[in-house]
Amino acid sequence: MPELFDSPDGVSAEERLLCLVLALLPSDRGMSKADIFATVRGYRDEFRAQGATEALNRKFDRDKDDLKSLGIPLTTSETDNPADAVYSIPKSEYSFSFTERELALLTAAGAVWSESAHSNEVREAQIRLAAADADGHDLVAYAPRVEMHDQAYGPVARAITDGRVITFPYLKPGESKYEQRVVSPLALVDYDGRWHLLAYDHKRNAERTFLLRRIVGKVGNLTGAPQATPTPATQSEFTAHLDALWDSLTATIRVTPETKAASVLGKRRGTVIAGDTYTVHFLDEAVFADELCEYGAEAVVAEPASLRAAVVARLERLVSDHA
């Protein structure tokens, strides 16, 4: 199977899921986990560097759950040894389709890409492709890649690469006024569909975790400030920390059967269902409370009390705002 091109900037969770779908769809016999790790963009570099680590296996398990929650029929063969399982997406059950509006947008995006094919940035990319024995003239034929990041993602990611200290306004849950943070960013991880930043907070002299969606203004650079730098293991250790936090935080929720809440929460990684009682994992109480509000009476929190109070407060505020 041909390998997919890896960019030097890493692979987002959205792009990794797309690559996994594109790898599985053409495969009539499916792919083993070993094949996926060895060939699919988003897994291959980590697999080559460290092998099939526990962190890589957990990433794959999360991706399987995410695909299923999106309605993609990912199937797993039945085998006595889980390591021999084969994963596939039946072409008869899943295919890409676009509306007229989506096709128009894709056509427009392709036109923009073609118009920019002779920009300085693209000429630099052609040089790099030529150095790798690729045909730089084929670059015009590549479709543009759409990535979904928080607004702060770009400057934060560049600061990690460049080893810079940054400052940004950060709004904590339940607060009406932001705090200005000064940090050395160490690692970015997409977890539970949201970008999390591990950084050394210089004002608190300790490592802290930040949710990028809570950065409410411009990210600035500080020159001459003392820096904290990540180690080669920082990224995997941060992911392991988030995994442990996810495993430790659960909510007991009474869910109305055959509703959106039942469908979404039932497919959430690690959910245990006993009748209409769901034990559901979460990572951030404020974020999860926001999500639960979308389900209204379909999902009623029993425990913990703090999560129940957070949901009730949000619903009461919603009623008050629209009274």
| Interval 73-94: pLDDT, tens | 888 887 777 778 899 888 777 7
Strands, sheet with 272-274, edge to edge from the N-terminal-most edge strand: 272-274, 277-281, 250-255, 299-303
147 located within any domain: no
Look at the chain and report how many structural domains it folds into: 4
Residues 165-224 pLDDT 10s: 999 999 998 888 999 999 999 999 888 888 999 999 999 999 999 999 999 999 999 887
Q: Mark whether 75 and 35 lie in a shared domain.
A: yes
4 located within any domain: no
310 located within any domain: yes
CA dist., res. 293 & res. 256, Å (int):
14
Query: Residue 201 is part of a domain; what is its CATH number?
Result: 2.30.30
Q: Mark whether 190 and 229 lie in a shared domain.
A: yes
Q: Mark whether 158 and 189 lie in a shared domain.
A: yes
3 located within any domain: no
Q: Mark whether 189 and 221 lie in a shared domain.
A: yes
116 located within any domain: yes
How do the pLDDT tens digits run along the chain, 323 residues long?
Answer: 434 434 434 678 888 888 888 888 877 778 889 889 988 888 988 888 888 899 999 999 999 888 888 888 888 887 777 778 899 888 777 766 555 555 555 555 555 554 444 445 555 555 554 554 444 444 444 444 444 457 898 899 889 988 899 999 999 988 889 999 999 999 998 888 889 999 999 999 999 999 999 999 999 998 877 788 888 889 889 999 999 999 999 999 999 999 999 988 998 999 999 999 999 999 999 999 999 998 999 999 999 999 999 999 999 988 887 76
Q: Mark whether 157 and 230 lie in a shared domain.
A: yes
pTM over 0.75: no
Q: Mark whether 160 and 226 lie in a shared domain.
A: yes
69 located within any domain: yes
157 located within any domain: yes
For 282, the domain range is: 249-321
38 located within any domain: yes
Domain final residue, candidates 236, 268, 298: 236
Q: Mark whether 253 and 315 lie in a shared domain.
A: yes
